[in-house]
Amino acid sequence: MRRGFTLIEVLVSVVLFGLIAAFLYGGIDQVRLMRLFYAEKGKEFTHHERIRSLLYRDLAQAGKMSVIDGDVDHSIVLLESSRHSLYGISLPNVVWFIRKKDNALVRLESSEAITVPLDPLKFYAIHSDTVARGCTTFRVYGSGVGRFGVVMCGKDKIMVETPL
């Protein structure tokens, strides 16, 4: 009576193991690709939620809002006496607009009144933040019941609606 495996049995088991490993690698690779895809989507969602939250707080907590229509797709929003500050300024003045040269959504904040066009002598007192890049549309509307803002960044639309 012999003990052990024949060469044919070993070769068949190696081939079967190779086929199983190839199928498993394909499944694991798909899981890796899905993880990368959803990680990127999560980063986009987090970024859009930060923009939405920042714009919502600025619009909701502003004492007075003025909108200057730059053109069909762009507004310049002046918010006076806001209760929302990123820099610890009490009652800051905030301006939102799209910088034309690179389509960046920009937020300015200062303790002094910000006028458009900007006075170069007051640059030292203005905090500037680039909120998003690649934005094609920024519009804000005010009504008797609230404020409504729309930002188009790439193919994504970010909308904010605040009560008065």
Q: What is the pLDDT of residues 95-121, one digit of tens each?
A: 999 988 889 999 999 998 888 788 788
Could you tell me what percent of the chain has a pLDDT over 70?
96
User: What CA–CA distances, in Å, run from 143 to 65, 67, 129, 162, 164?
Assistant: 11, 12, 27, 10, 9
Burial of 160 (0-12, 13-18, 19+ CB in 10 A): buried
Pairing outcome for strands 135-142 and 146-153: antiparallel
- Is the pLDDT reported for residue 56 higher than 90? yes
Contacts of 111 (CB under 8 A, 6+ apart): 89, 90, 91, 92, 93, 125
Residue 58 binned pLDDT confidence (cut-offs 50, 70, 90): very high
Calpha distance 14→20 (Å, rounded): 10
Calpha distance 108→54 (Å, rounded): 12
Q: Which two tokens stand for residue 90?
A: 């009490």
Question: What is the gyration radius of the CA atoms in the chain, in angstroms?
Answer: 28
Average pLDDT over residues 21-45: 93
> Of 67, 125, 74, whose CA–CA distance to 95 is shortest?
67
Average pLDDT over residues 55-83: 85
> Of 87, 86, 85, 93, whose CA–CA distance to 63 is shortest?
93
Lowest mean pLDDT among 67-71, 73-77, 112-116: 67-71
Q: What is the pLDDT of residue 34?
A: 96
pTM of the predicted protein model:
0.77
Q: What is the pLDDT of residue 4?
A: 79
Q: What is the pLDDT of residue 37?
A: 96
Average pLDDT over residues 78-105: 89
Q: What is the pLDDT of residue 1?
A: 64
Residue 36 binned pLDDT confidence (cut-offs 50, 70, 90): very high
- Is the pLDDT reported for residue 140 higher than 70? yes
**The dihedral of CA 11, 14, 20, 24: what is its sign?**
negative
Mean model confidence pLDDT for the chain: 88
Of residues 144 and 126, the one with the higher pLDDT is 126
Calpha distance 55→45 (Å, rounded): 15
